[in-house]
Amino acid sequence: MFEVQAWQGIVIDVVGIASVGYMSFVIVRLLARRASSAGRVREATAVESALIEGTVPEGARIFDGWSYRVGARFAGRVRVAVYADSVAVAGPRTPRRLYQVWIWVQGLLLALVPATLAASIVLLDWRWLLSSVGILLVAFAVSAGGAGLWPGLGELEAVDGAFNALEFPRTAVREVDIGKGWSKGGLEIVLLPYRAMVDKMAEGRAVSFFAPDEYGHEVRFAIHMYSEEKARELAGLLVGSTAPSASNSDASA
């Protein structure tokens, strides 16, 4: 179908190997970052699951938001509880292996695009350009399909309305950002085609940070808050600039 000279094949292969190799490095690093401690998964309390009989413990702060599909694997509406010494996040969560496959498929599809673009240039063949567009469309379908599916899968884990909560020490929280920082750790490469769009949406509202998961990996949390004021309050608590107080919680005691 395509007549390729030796030098053209070398150029295409080098670009493809470099692109796939770099993307693989990024994904491995994204999924295998080690934390200094491990979080723990436990059944969420009534207030952490937003059940009507829940009572906010004295000294705790409760925040509601929507989780981005980042390394912590929460999806859809989540509740963040900030206690004196720990933080707990509860809500629908994507199964670990399924999330990893989702990331790998997106990343490797995106990594094929530079090779097909290189082929369209060195071969002067518009069909390779169409291949690039087709690969991007498939990658977008995988990304959008997974993002839409995760909340529903996570809801299946709820028992009598209660989700599991991932709890970790407040001292383990690192690199708290509001806005563009949601994609730190490698997702800025894996989700490159959509990053600018999400950055715009995240501006002033998305609170993101690194913290340990239950496997001892350091993962990114990114939670879109309902107001810029709540985003600043949560970020302040996570960096330790504000002491917890139940009086300003989203949930009523």
Judge whether residue 3 has pLDDT over 80: no
Query: Taking residues 211-219, what's their average pLDDT?
Result: 95
More confident residue, 181 or 249: 181
User: Is-contact 63 47, C-beta < 8 A?
Assistant: no
Give 124-166 pLDDT, tens digit per residue: 888 889 999 999 999 889 888 777 766 655 555 655 567 889 9
Give 87-108 pLDDT, tens digit per residue: 999 988 888 998 999 999 999 9
Confidence (pLDDT) at 145: 79
Residues contacting residue 117 through CB under 8 Å, at least 6 positions apart: 128, 129, 132
Q: Scanning the structure block, which residue is given the tokens 């518009």?
A: 126
Confidence (pLDDT) at 107: 94
* Sequence ranges of the domains in the chain: 6-30+97-153, 38-93+157-176+197-248
CATH number, domain 38-93+157-176+197-248, options 2.30.29.30, 1.10.287.1060, 2.60.40.420, 2.60.120.890: 2.30.29.30
**Residue 166 parent element (H or E):** strand 164-169
Confidence (pLDDT) at 41: 93
User: Is-contact 249 230, C-beta < 8 A?
Assistant: no
Confidence (pLDDT) at 249: 46
Confidence (pLDDT) at 86: 93
Give 14-47 pLDDT, tens digit per residue: 999 999 999 999 999 999 999 989 999 998 888 8
Judge whether residue 251 has pLDDT over 50: no
Q: Between β-strands 61-67 and 40-43, what pairing exists: parallel, antiparallel or unpaired? A: unpaired
User: Average pLDDT over the chain, rounded to whole?
Assistant: 86
CA angle 162, 220, 33 (to 5 degrees): 115
Judge whether residue 121 has pLDDT over 50: yes
